[in-house]
Chain A
Amino acid sequence: MKRFLLLAITAILTFALAACSNGSTAKTNSSNSEKSDSKNGQTSGITTTIDKPVTIEFWHAMTGHLGETLQKMTDEFNNSQENITVKLVSQGNYGDLSKKVMASAKARTLPVMSQAYEDWMTQYIQNDLITDLTPYVQDEKYGWTDEEYNDIVKVFRDANTWDGKLYGVPFNKSTEILYYNTDMFKENNLEAPTTWEELRNAAQKLTNKDKKVVGLGLENSIGTSFPTWVRQAGGTFLDEGSNKIMFDSPEGKEALEFLNGMMVDGIARLAGEDEYMSNPFGRGDTGIYIGSSAGIPFVSQAAEGNINWSAAPLPKGKVGATSFQGTNITVFSSATDEEKLAAWEYLKFMTSKEQTVFWAKETGYIPVRTSALEDPTWKQYIEENPVYGVGQLQFESGFYDPRPVGAFDMKNVVSKEVQSVLLGQKKVDQGLADAAKGAQDALDKAK
């Protein structure tokens, strides 16, 4: 009964509101019509306007300083707007975020916006959960010019495009870099390693049993960056066209053996109960740390008063390779037209040159606009803080993670098997075969 009543009220309200907004937008439409007609008549045009307060939620997984920075930017946006208020909701880590989005999709309590990886978005699109942003991009009044659109770094644009439709905008994009403890490197007369060989040697030299120092520190989630290692070894992780797992190959084996060899020799370790390697690295428990460029503020925080450090691009195997990770912002189709438009305003703001530079400066993520890379403030900033410039040095060797349906499952399996090998539970061959089989099963099941 209550639900019926609610439905009825909603229906009446919607009708009334629709009538209102039609009246008020009529003018804007007519004044715009000439322009859009002259273009090609195709631009449908966004007819909604926002003339009363709208509050929209944005679900994210940004913790610590990242969360604070996001809050700062959002506050600035809210202050610049008359009617739009963006409310941030932290959902813990990415795993939690993904779960909450799925639960809310079922319960029809989705927010207006969320951070999302590309493979999540594939699944959302399959279930009609997210909005095609193309009409917003192309809109005369609210959209981007071609120049503004093309300014978004291409690999990020492509990662957000399915069948020619844009479903999200890149937000926090990172890549893996190599952090190193400059004090220890000086002590041992070392330079930042540029090849696997040098990496191994450095790890060996830095390891000091008496001081409980292990040379190289890797994240627990080393399995999720396994595609990078396979590529560096000259192999292929996944054939995108046929969705076929390819890493059970000599190259895949070489990559896993390289990592495992260092673990066995005790010159590499995983973060373990420290959860993220930035903490032990900052305490001086490891000399090198391979991890996301988004970890820069965490490393600074952990290192303060303990160690001196710097960063360099990842060492090369047979080839150089590093994947671009991090999420995009996407808008759910369950939102009302007003909410969607409000969200679009927010997305434009967040990807503007000023904001993406600010975000990058504060967090270690990479600016998402080409023009930002040329921006004098940014250039000056990375000159003064070279570690922040390391990520973009790797644009050339960068690729974006495969985004098939079932990727969640696939990553889980690979992550677990790689961990099993590195923690001495399985032999390399066995682990690799099991990982490949499990990953293939996950992809086939999701199809």
Chain B
Amino acid sequence: MNDTPTIGKTLKALLYLAPALLIIGTFNIYPIIKSFLMSFYTDYDYFKDIVNERGLSNYSYIFQDPEFWLSMKNTMIFVIGVVPISIILSLGIAVLLNQKIKFRGFFRTVYFIPFVTSVVAVSIVWRWIFHTQYGLLNHFLGFFGVSPIKWLSDPQMAMPALIILAVWKGLGYNIIIFLAGLQNINQQYYLAAKIDGASSWQRFKNITVPLLSSTTFFISIISIINSFKVFDEVFALFGGQPGPANSAQTVVYYIFNKFYGEWDFGVASAAAYALFIVIFILTLVQLYVGKRKVNY
């Protein structure tokens, strides 16, 4: 059978693709373009859907808006807080789980549970755990002589609280990916190293870490991208506010507020595109490095 494209095959394929393309075209591809156009709407009658004026001022507005930079800063803090901690912890746990131990499946199940739960619901649970006077966390910290921390009402502590929640929630996901990566490492290396008398730390440092570098890189990029999009946690943890004195306002929260609070579609779209560009660059880096890995 000769498998080359023909008109007939193309028509048949279109038939198969039609449902998916209709949905994806309307709700994924068209809005990418529309959103870009909307970011130039500087005078827009939201109710009647009439654009009175277009221009670049939405972009100049967000770049001069201290709230936007605050959101960027908070988002950066979040990324810098969550990604390294989460990677170190999950790598450590994955290595432990990769030992010859009993109940490995059980432990894996337990660590992964938070990942399948509703962000909103667990954030409300954590709101209770973070309570200054009656919260579980401060109670435990009290055993170590730490005086009660105002996790949710002190602007300095809002980001750390958010980071703790996010690390807890996402740990299981990273562990699973690390485990998959670890299982791909040829056991021969470890055997050889053991014979050479390398300690377990040396084996970890000289075999595991380098051979796992592509997995680590994949996880970091995915984590960074997802951390840039944090919203649900903020909304639920601080009861629909972006933290005390906006101290936990993230970029997506900023977009949400401009869009759904102030109904300024132009500014909201411009901010969304700024976020997109950051994420786009990160994705390109990932693709580039991913390609290089294949060429090795």
Q: Chain A residues in contact with chain B, CB under 8 A?
A: 92-93, 95-96, 99, 102-103, 105-106, 127, 129, 212, 220, 270, 272-273, 275, 285, 408-409, 412, 416, 419-420, 423-425
Contact partner of A99 among B127, B133, B246, B260, CB < 8 A?
Answer: B260
- State which residues 236-264 of B face A: CB under 8 Å: 239-241, 244-247, 260-263
A272-B152, A416-B245 provided; 10 other pairs, C-beta below 8 A? A95-B240, A99-B260, A106-B47, A127-B47, A272-B150, A273-B127, A273-B131, A408-B261, A423-B244, A423-B245
Contact B133 A212 (CB under 8 A): yes
Mask: chain B, 45-63; 1 = CB below 8 Å from A; 0 = not: 0110000000000000000
Nearest chain-A residue to B128 (Cβ)? A273
Nearest chain-A residue to B150 (Cβ)? A272
Contact A273 B132 (CB under 8 A): yes
Smallest beta-carbon distance A431→chain B, Å:
10
Contact B261 A419 (CB under 8 A): no
Contact B245 A409 (CB under 8 A): no
Contact B240 A105 (CB under 8 A): no
Contact partner of B261 among A99, A127, A275, CB < 8 A?
Answer: A99
Smallest beta-carbon distance A414→chain B, Å:
12
Check B215 for interface membership: any CB of A closer than 8 A. Answer: no
Name A's interface SS: helix
Smallest beta-carbon distance B155→chain A, Å:
5
Contact B46 A106 (CB under 8 A): yes
Q: Chain B residues in contact with chain A, CB under 8 A?
A: 46-47, 127, 130-133, 150-155, 239-241, 244-247, 260-263
> CB-CB < 8 A to B152: which residues of A?
272-273
Smallest beta-carbon distance A76→chain B, Å:
32
Nearest chain-B residue to A95 (Cβ)? B240
Nearest chain-A residue to B48 (Cβ)? A127
Nearest chain-A residue to B238 (Cβ)? A273
Contact A416 B260 (CB under 8 A): no
How far does the alpha carbon of A67 sit from the alpha carbon of B106 in the complex, in Å?
Answer: 46
Contact B130 A273 (CB under 8 A): yes
Contact partner of A409 among B47, B131, B260, B262, CB < 8 A?
Answer: B262
The 8 sampled A-B contact pairs (Cβ below 8 Å) are A92-B240, A212-B133, A272-B153, A408-B262, A416-B245, A423-B153, A423-B155, A423-B244
Contact partner of B154 among A103, A127, A420, A423, CB < 8 A?
Answer: A423
Smallest beta-carbon distance A48→chain B, Å:
26
How far does the alpha carbon of A105 sit from the alpha carbon of B47 in the complex, in Å?
Answer: 7
Smallest beta-carbon distance A348→chain B, Å:
29
Nearest chain-B residue to A92 (Cβ)? B240
Contact B155 A425 (CB under 8 A): yes
Smallest beta-carbon distance A125→chain B, Å:
13
Nearest chain-A residue to B49 (Cβ)? A106
Smallest beta-carbon distance A108→chain B, Å:
9
